[in-house]
Amino acid sequence: MDSIVIHGGNRLSGSIPVSGAKNSAIKLMAASILTPEPLRLTNMPRLADTRFLGALLREFGIKVTEGDGADGQETLFDASQLTSTFAPYDLVRQMRASFNVLGPLLARTGEAKVSLPGGCTIGARPVDLHLMALEAMGAHIELEEGYVTASAKNGLQGAEIEFPFVSVGATEHALLAAVMANGTTVLKRAAKEPEIGDLARCLMAMGAKIEGLDTDQLVITGVTSLKGTDWSVIPDRIEMGSYALAAAMAGGEVRLTKGRADLITALTDPMRRSGVEVIEEANGDVVIRRDPTQRLQAVDVTTEIYPGFATDLQAQFMALMTLADGESVIHETIFENRFMHAPELMRLGADITVSAGEARVRGVNALHGAQVMATDLRASMSLVIAGLAAEGETTVGRVYHLDRGFERMEEKLGACGADVRRIKGEGPEH
């Protein structure tokens, strides 16, 4: 398996372009199932997750063509001929979000058989809300031997669906199914993440009728068919926030381009309180500036649903707080068991105490390089961020997690002066 080696201590100086949002791109890719006409997505990130989903879409007979256009990286989807509605475990297990092909397949063809996501037992991070929404729209669903077999012989029907709690995945999945249901569907307690707004606006460009954009109640009037369109994926707010924290951790001055400052306000506010200079420019660029000789200040954060502090930036912010003056308290309210990066940061010398959904981070004077292991996508980036400021050499193992969500990370940080390189390894990546 590959690893990332970082020699810490270099200040960063330069520009980092923000890629298209992974969490938007993969749902937009699923939307290609809904139309026999071409869907062209621009500002597309090239990631392990988009490759996984591309392979699954090809399994259905969809032509997926990657290229470089005038608008940068693009992918063209041609679903004019669907030859299968079966999503096998070997493909679905590689990425949970690939389960969201179920709704579009049902909406377009009236049937589908999709594996439950890898490691999923309808418990933690459940898919039961996804299935509840589809059943409310009239789908007949059976669970057998790890597969969901679903049918809607007379088409999906509009319904009023109130989620018991906010779920990004379930909101997106229900939206993908409802746009071609008969009648009107109302989604109550819907998630409001920017990626959902991006998906909804793309669907509207394809001919869908959706009201209540960016609110917790979406009203979808079903249409009989959707057309193709060209759509640019929104900037990745998690990548943008991660590089902002990397710049703050290492010190120096970094300009983040092709992003949107309004997407990371919940992060830049506590960054400013910690002593980091954040400058939002008229052209949309964000400049992160910090003198590394000046000590950061401890700041408390609590993860919340959007527009609150993103759980996907919690690990990276914790890395920043390991060098802050004082004690910061980080509350994780979205996902259980999401402090697995804490023991790895402690291997670098961090002083962290974890109890249930709370982590107390007491800032230390210095971190020291060590061998550490990535436990998930966002945790892997937190270890890279910590390694940028650690004395000596840090080696991050199992970086296939990193490749799921960060495009050309070594290249982007290296262009700003970071000493970061990938060591190719042998053996399976999973």
Query: Could you give the CA distance from residue 395 to residue 399 in angstroms, rounded to a whole number?
Result: 10
Structural tokens at position 126: 């459940």
The burial of 1, by beta-carbon neighbours within 10 Å (0-12 exposed, 13-18 middle, 19 or more buried), is given as middle
Q: What pLDDT band is residue 117 in, cutting at 50, 70 and 90?
A: confident
Per-residue model confidence (pLDDT) at position 401: 86
- Global pTM reads 0.95
Q: Is 334 annotated as a binding residue?
A: yes
Per-residue model confidence (pLDDT) at position 118: 58
- CATH of 3-18+235-423 among 3.65.10.10, 3.10.20.30, 3.90.1170.50, 3.90.380.10: 3.65.10.10
Residue 41 in this model has a pLDDT that exceeds 70? yes
SS3 readout for 228-247: CEEEECCECHHHHHHHHHHH
What sign does the CA torsion over 50, 53, 55, 57 have?
negative
Q: Would you call 303 helix, strand, or coil by DSSP?
A: strand
User: What's the rounded mean pLDDT across residues 350-372?
Assistant: 97
Per-residue model confidence (pLDDT) at position 427: 54
**Domain spanning 22-232, CATH class:** alpha beta
Specify whether the CB–CB gap between 167 and 189 falls below 8 A: no
Return the DSSP state at 45: -
Residues 150-186: tens digit of each pLDDT: 999 999 999 999 999 999 999 999 999 999 999 999 9
Residue 84 in this model has a pLDDT that exceeds 50? yes
Residue carrying the six token digits 């949107």: 260
Question: 221: closest CA among 174, 186, 176, 171?
Answer: 186
Separation of first and last alpha carbons in the chain: 9
Domain boundaries, the chain: 3-18+235-423, 22-232
Q: Is 283 annotated as a binding residue?
A: no
Q: Would you call 55 helix, strand, or coil by DSSP?
A: helix
List the catalytic residue out of 120, 132, 141, 204: 120
Average pLDDT, the chain: 94
Per-residue model confidence (pLDDT) at position 125: 55
User: What's the rounded mean pLDDT across residues 369-383?
Assistant: 92
Q: Distances in Å between the alpha carbon of 338 and those of 330, 350, 354? A: 11, 17, 10
Residues 240-294: tens digit of each pLDDT: 999 999 999 999 999 999 999 999 999 999 999 999 999 999 888 999 999 999 9
Q: Is 289 annotated as a binding residue?
A: no
Question: 286: closest CA among 248, 267, 258?
Answer: 258
Query: Could you give the CA distance from residue 306 to residue 369 in angstroms, rounded to a whole number?
Result: 34
Q: Is 120 a catalytic residue?
A: yes
3-7 vs 86-87, strand pairing mode: unpaired
Residues 7-31: tens digit of each pLDDT: 999 999 999 999 999 999 999 999 9
Question: 394: closest CA among 326, 325, 322, 294?
Answer: 322
Q: Is 126 annotated as a binding residue?
A: yes
Q: Is 220 annotated as a binding residue?
A: no
**Residues pairing with 395 in the sheet:** 5, 371
Per-residue model confidence (pLDDT) at position 426: 67
Task: Please provide the size of the chain in residues.
Answer: 430
Q: What is the dihedral of CA 21, 23, 26, 32, to 10 degrees?
A: -80
Q: Is 125 annotated as a binding residue?
A: yes
Residue 223 in this model has a pLDDT that exceeds 90? yes
Q: Is 23 annotated as a binding residue?
A: yes
Structural tokens at position 168: 């990004």
Return the DSSP state at 18: P
Per-residue model confidence (pLDDT) at position 87: 96
Residue 337 in this model has a pLDDT that exceeds 80? no
Q: Is 210 annotated as a binding residue?
A: no
Q: Distances in Å between the alpha carbon of 236 and those of 49, 145, 181, 200, 240? A: 14, 36, 30, 17, 6
Query: Could you give the CA distance from residue 307 to residue 198 in angstroms, rounded to a whole number?
Result: 15
